[in-house]
Chain A
């Protein structure tokens, strides 16, 4: 593998010409695709009378790529050149990959033209560290200023904060964007030291803290997000979710994204894996939801193990550990009791509460409302009666947490 010094001497082909726009867009979207965040929700801007673009509170998906992920924003790097050497990253300095850069005007023009055709809700702009953090951030901000002040574009903008950029630039970024983010990358300082030697937890966390301070007068979570790589180090699920929980508790971010580690480089410090831990990533999202929307605490999720079970979702796992909580009587249970029932999520719980005001609940009414009882039936009663008669063997299977009873893995 080349050392950085050798690379200095090698000629890097940097795509910069206007006519190369196809190659450059291609290089910079490939480099950006490993960032999982693509949400466009939460924006509140109205269209400027001379311009175009507004944001839709609940976000809009414009397409789905062949990996099944929603495309909502033009997600690109300004440049994939980077002076850092994070071992898990395709853009690290020592990699011999084609490099490209887009000028601020090109970024703005691309965004406008894609937006006018309704391909996107806005822009997600990130970048490798080019020259130094402030210089990079300034170039990115130039693009955003063209969008906001020349084209009067009020569509959604998500801006990645470059760690190490000055507080003034972070503040400016926050004032122009709908959402900002700084990826914490790995859940502990030790892991960062090992895989991202140019970064420290403090440096990555600092932009988020600045944003929180600006946002301080409001009680809401700051419109910021972060991403944590899962499976590149030995950190447990509990360590990861605990970090997320603290970030939510301190209202530092609205959203934590988990990204299954996908090997793109070879390095002795990186784990040798056969398949990226996508299922683990999925379970982490489920646990994250339990914390945010279901009223679960960290200790409830990790009562028995520091890692989430892979075979079943964390809510079902909790239910099977706490059969004393069930059955839940659905004609009387409150929202937080209902959402603890496997198979009943927030939408179904709300439907149940609304429906029982006007009519008598029965398994037929529930079915008509589209509430599946496939899993819930083992855990509920309707006016004191169980929905299914549980045979002795099924009761035993439940007690023994026999997973064959629950073939699907929905939360």
Chain B
């Protein structure tokens, strides 16, 4: 089994698709991996896709020209669903689409179902973080939020907060993917940043304590249902929500 790695950028993703769709590289015995999550060296047999901006650009135009608009717009979303490994199903669909233009809507194909489910899950995940992202105010009134979403939602998430807080200074950090969003004076930037860390505690922002107190009081004791709460807020993301912080 040969593992093909790409660098986890959108350009890398398009270069990879180009290799398998237009250059018809075989998928037999191939596993595809995003190098943002696993280092190539951890595999015995691997090959790295060399990201090529020119190829990526051309392939992007090829898709724009040849795919129905609705499907074309989903390609970026499929890229952002980075943890569910959509590369192979997508390659299979793109290879078939010339012969069967409606294939992407035909739910009798497992690939179509997988893509469809992932897209839905992506928007669900984004919507979740509309609510769950927590800003902590740093001393200079900068609002800082750190999170680790299931998918790479930040490129489709920041807009919500910029629209909502156009006059604030914002830092949002996806610490799993090391993707950083900065916003100040109506200028914005989205960058990959390997070593970025801001330590926060209860003392950083006094409103955290007020919020925690509100959070504990608003529950009706007679209705207590930790199970329902756990279903809605999995334990894995609670470290990002100050209302769940365990204070020693």
Contacts and interface: CB of A to CB of B under 8 A. Distances in A.
Interface of A: 21-22, 25-26, 29-30, 32-34, 47, 49-54, 56, 58, 60-72, 74-75, 110, 113-114, 116-119, 121, 262, 276, 278, 355, 358-360, 365, 368-370
Contact of B135 (A34, A61, A118, A355): A118
Interface in B207-228: 207-211, 213-228
A358 B229 contact: no
B213 A22 contact: yes
A51 B168 CA distance: 10
B132 interface: yes
B163 A64 contact: no
A66 B160 CA distance: 28
Contacts of A52: 164-168
Given A358-B107, A359-B108, A262 B229 contact: no
B102 interface: yes
B43 interface: no
Given A52-B165, A68-B227, A116-B165, A33 B219 contact: yes
Interface in B169-222: 205, 207-211, 213-222
Contacts of B222: 67, 262, 276
Contacts of A51: 167
B76 interface: no
Contact of B218 (A58, A75, A370): A75
B228 A369 contact: no
B232 interface: yes
B160 to A, nearest CB: 8
B38 to A, nearest CB: 29
Given A60-B127, A67-B220, A50 B136 contact: no
Looking at A54, A67, A74, A276, the one whose CB has the most chain B CB atoms below 10 A away is A67
Contacts of B167: 50-52
Interface string B136-148: 1100000101000
Interface string B97-134: 00000100111101001000100000000010011111
B233 interface: yes
Given A60-B131, A369-B113, A116 B143 contact: yes
